[in-house]
Amino acid sequence: KETNISITYLDANFPFINGFPLLPHLSHNDGKKVDLSFMYLDKNGNPTDKKPSISGYGVFSNSEDNYTSKTCIDKGYWQYDYSKYLTFGTINDLTLDKNKTKTLIQNLVNKSQTQKLFIEPHLKQSLGLNNETKIRFHGCRAVRHDDHIHLQIK
């Protein structure tokens, strides 16, 4: 497996006050949770460290046919796709690099320090990560996780 991957983190903990999350991530309050960017390909199919939005959030993978997103929103969880309003602008036309994203996730879940990792169920399936017990659905009360990886360590 390829392990020489540059990782971009998007959000962790508010750096000045212990126990205070970096909003809007209410669970990022103990230094054990971090959001990581997916891996992307540019329009020529080359790997890039660019992100599809300024914030790194809100540009969803397979957003039109995401059963989980529709189900959560239909159940009244209005905040589920709220991060689409937090992009601060879409800046790059990129495609999810499924191979490198899968490699990154597999390397993370194989670490003993990893407690759990959140991505959308449709990505877990399409990336072929069905047997990974640390990869979980975060529930409808959180925001979507098909624009980033949420990693929690022990």
Which amino acid belongs to residue 148? H
CA distance 146 to 120: 5
Task: Give CA 108 to chain center in angstroms.
Answer: 13
Instruction: Give the pLDDT confidence score for residue 6 in this predicted structure.
Output: 81
Instruction: Give the pLDDT confidence score for residue 117 in this predicted structure.
Output: 96
pTM over 0.95: no
Region class of 111: left (phi > 0), else alpha (psi between -120 and 50), else beta: beta
The strand pair at 135-136 and 114-118 is best described as parallel
Is 58:147 a contact under the CB 8 Å cutoff? yes
Which residues, given as ranges, of the chain have pLDDT below 70? 1-4, 13-26, 28-29, 63-65
CA distance 20 to 10: 17
Instruction: Give the pLDDT confidence score for residue 119 in this predicted structure.
Output: 94
Nearest 5°: the CA angle 137, 45, 4 is 65
CA dihedral 11, 12, 17, 19 (to 10 degrees): 120
Is 36:8 a contact under the CB 8 Å cutoff? yes
- Give the 3-state secondary structure of residue 138: coil
**Residue 9, strand partner residues:** 36
Instruction: Give the pLDDT confidence score for residue 10 in this predicted structure.
Output: 84
